[in-house]
Amino acid sequence: MYPVDIKGIQRSYSGSEVLKHIDLKIARGEFVALLGRSGSGKSTLLRILAGLDRPDGGTTSISANVAIVFQDARLLPWENVARNVAMGLTEQDAKERVRNALAEVGLSHRIDAWPVTLSGGEAQRAALARALVREPDLLLLDEPFGALDALTRIAMHDLVLELFERHRPAVFMVTHDVDEAIKLADRILVLDNGHIHAEFTVERSRDGSLAAASTSIRADLLRALGVAHSSGRSRTGHETESHHLRLAAQNGAI
């Protein structure tokens, strides 16, 4: 049983087909990132996985135990952090679990705080605790670090990786940041024109650095996204290729 197993998903909004035919399987312990231009339908796909939107066609089989983190933390402003994290928990030991989850994201000292008093990074960590406290089979992330400053974002990347290693849910993360996708994901999909237009597996060595086979992945991704260079769509020619890599190196600095 895959936490995500969807076939032939279609979704249109008032006549325009946002998703034309999407097949996707995600196993437990697999971290999948979805890249795509703004408006390409990434959030639409994520919302279908979350059960917040219905596809017009196709079949879906999605785990019932889903958690979600959006770009904005979406905490209830009138409930303190602990009550927010406990949302929907019915277990006897909910209090204990909330405390543990907040400790895991390093927010124990803010357990009684009102959401308006949290910084952006703290609010996002509370949202992450709310997601993890229920040990989800599937964790959905919709540009979860998009609103954070660069330093906080790096800290959050490390936190998410650490939590992912510990809990091993299936993760589906929408992002428009190529470097973020490479840093976090095992598999990167590129959504374009309603299809999964390209797919990359990120091979890592033991120490977590990119394996030799994956060193060109950044350039490949930029090309798949059509953003590298005006002649970037060309698939031939070593010159273009090395130009991409140089460009990637310039933009780089993970």
Kindly list the residues in this chain that would bind Mg ion in the complex (CB under 5 A). 43
CB 226 within 8 A of CB 36: no
Can you tell me the distance from the alpha carbon of 106 to that of 251, in angstroms, rounded to the nearest whole number?
31
Per CB under 6 A, which region of 42-50, 64-72, 129-137, 197-205 contacts ligand ADP? 42-50
Q: Is 43 among the residues that bind ligand ADP (CB under 6 A)?
A: yes
Q: Is 169 among the residues that bind ligand ADP (CB under 6 A)?
A: no
Question: Is the Cβ of residue 40 or residue 240 nearer to ligand ADP in the bound state?
Answer: 40
Chosen residue from 42, 110, 130, 218 binding ligand ADP by CB under 6 A: 42
Q: Name, in order, each residue with C-beta under 8 angstroms of 250's C-beta and a sequence gap of 6 or more.
A: none
Distances (CA, A) of 226 to 175, 197, 243: 16, 11, 14
Minimal distance, residue 70 CB to other proteins, in Å? 7
Can you tell me the distance from the alpha carbon of 196 to that of 180, in angstroms, rounded to the nearest whole number?
19
Which helix (H) or strand (E) segment holds residue 170: the answer is strand 170-174
Residue 18 contacts which entry, other proteins, Mg ion, ligand ADP, none (Cβ below 5-8 A, type-dependent): ligand ADP
How many residues are recorded in the chain? 254
Residue 35 contacts which entry, other proteins, Mg ion, ligand ADP, none (Cβ below 5-8 A, type-dependent): none
Minimal distance, residue 73 CB to ligand ADP, in Å? 18
Strand, coil or helix: 120: helix
Task: Report 132-161 residues binding ligand ADP (CB under 6 A).
Answer: none
Minimal distance, residue 23 CB to other proteins, in Å? 23
Minimal distance, residue 241 CB to Mg ion, in Å? 30
Can you tell me the distance from the alpha carbon of 218 to that of 99, in angstroms, rounded to the nearest whole number?
39
Question: Is the Cβ of residue 84 or residue 240 nearer to other proteins in the bound state?
Answer: 84
- The distance of Cα 216 from the centroid of its chain, to the nearest Å, equals 22
Minimal distance, residue 149 CB to other proteins, in Å? 20
Can you tell me the distance from the alpha carbon of 69 to that of 77, in angstroms, rounded to the nearest whole number?
16
Q: Which residues of this protein are in contact with other proteins, per CB under 8 A?
A: 50-52, 66-68, 70, 72, 74, 76-79, 87-88, 114-117, 130, 134
Minimal distance, residue 70 CB to ligand ADP, in Å? 11
Can you tell me the distance from the alpha carbon of 75 to that of 97, in angstroms, rounded to the nearest whole number?
18
Minimal distance, residue 139 CB to Mg ion, in Å? 17
Which helix (H) or strand (E) segment holds residue 173: the answer is strand 170-174
Query: What type of residue sits at position 157?
Result: H
CB 135 within 8 A of CB 65: yes
Q: Is 84 among the residues that bind ligand ADP (CB under 6 A)?
A: no
Q: Which residues bind ligand ADP (CB under 6 A)?
A: 13, 18, 36, 38-44
